[in-house]
Amino acid sequence: MKTQLLPLAIGLLSITAVITSCKKDDEDVAAPIVPTCFVSSYKNLDSKDSTVQTFDNQNRLVKSITYDETGKLLDEYDIYTYGENKMTYTIYSDPSTISYQTEYILNPNGSIYYKAEKDVDEDHGVTEYDTAFYTYDALGYNTMVVYKKEYKGAQNHVYYDTTWYTYTDGNMTSSTHKTNSGETRTDISTYTDLVDKANVINGSFLTFPNLYGKPNKNLILLETNEEGTYTTKYTYEMNAEGYMIRSRMEYVNTKYPSEYTNDLRFYYTCK
């Protein structure tokens, strides 16, 4: 606020001017700019591999490269390309050889509507087509996925699996999966009271928080099946700004004895 020292003789006029100036300054103050933060890199604390991510001017991931603990570039790297309501995820084993590719058709909210994968097994003369259709509720939560797996070759086979999701207070609390044979399995999820501002973990993509629909409100604590024969437990570290800087996952299966961990450290770029 700028004011001038005025003669005492016009004090009343000065006070009026000051009040008016203060009010105008208050009205002209712009709302603070909230920076956009995204994961520019992350490190696997178990394997010591580090992944560096490159974004375009729309903050969309376009390239992901992983290095081992010595700094050596690993054989494969990921490329993301975009079209109208479309994203293609491609893994290259070298600059010209595609080892894997998935195409995503997106709805207006940026969530997957349809996903298609193709895998050619030249040794056995079989081509596998994997597709999935996603359904969302009015709030944007993913409520159902129908998977179709089709094998074409000397013999043709088609299989369907379906998964339904149930939400409570903004979190996905149960998922029921039904296989082509009619077998069903239900997983139960519980949550912490933590909220991650960047929503870096949702589905299998660290950098696409809306890809599988509206993210959970809170960070997940525990996943298990109804029989309790396998569990996945999560712990987190958050920074002072509310961004997740570490996520550790511990999986244990007592029915088919196995266990593993996935410990990630996140680094952010804000602009």
pLDDT above 80 (res 130): yes
Confidence of residue 28 (pLDDT cuts 50, 70, 90): low
Per-residue pLDDT, 56: 87
Are 9 and 96 found together in one domain?
Answer: no
Average pLDDT across the chain, whole number: 84
pLDDT at 22 over 60: no
- Same domain, yes or no: 219 and 264: yes
* Residue that is written with structure tokens 């939560």 in the block: 141
24 and 40 in a common domain: no
Lookup: tokens for 173: 């609390």
- Same domain (yes/no): 50, 7: no
Give the C-alpha separation, 114 to 78, whole Å.
20
> Which phi and psi angles does 228 have, rounded to 5°?
75, 20
Residues 44 and 122 in one domain: yes
- Backbone phi, psi, residue 269, to 5°: -120, 130
pLDDT for 13 = 31
Token pair listed for 240 = 């002072």
pLDDT for residue 264 is more than 90: yes
pLDDT at residue 39 in the model: 87
What is the amino acid identity at position 153?
G
Q: Is the pLDDT of residue 50 over 90?
A: yes
- Cα gap 193→100, rounded to integer Å: 37
Q: Residue 70 pLDDT > 50, yes or no?
A: yes
Q: Give residue 259's domain range.
A: 31-270
Residues 250, 189 share a domain: yes
The rounded distance, in Å, linking the Cα atoms of 93 and 76 is 4
Cβ density class 135-173: b for 16+ within 10 Å, e for less: ebeeeebbbebebebebeeeeeeeeebebbbebeeebbb
Tell me whether residue 13 is exposed, middle or buried, using C-beta atoms within 10 angstroms of its C-beta: 0 to 12, 13 to 18, 19 or more. Answer: exposed
* Domain shared by 11 and 37, yes or no: no
Same-domain status, 54 and 26:
no
Structure tokens at 61: 């991931």
Q: How many domains does the chain have?
A: 2
Q: In which band, very low, low, confident or very high, does the pLDDT at 260 lie, cut at 50, 70 and 90? A: very high
CATH number at residue 71: 2.40.160.190
Do 1 and 129 lie in a common domain?
no
What confidence score (pLDDT) does residue 193 get? 94
Q: Record the pTM.
A: 0.79
Residues 25, 65 within the same domain: no
What pLDDT score does 75 carry? 80
Q: Say whether both 164 and 230 belong to one domain.
A: yes
Tell me what pLDDT residue 141 has. 95
At residue 29, the pLDDT reads 59
- List the end-to-end C-alpha distance of the chain, in Å, as a whole number: 29
Separation CA 51–CA 46 (nearest Å): 13
Residue with tokens 């890809």: 211
pLDDT in the model for residue 132: 96
Tell whether 24 and 142 lie within a shared domain.
Answer: no
C-beta of residue 234 within 8 angstroms of C-beta of residue 247: yes
- pLDDT for 144-191, tens place per residue? 999 999 999 888 999 999 999 999 999 999 999 999 999 999 999 999
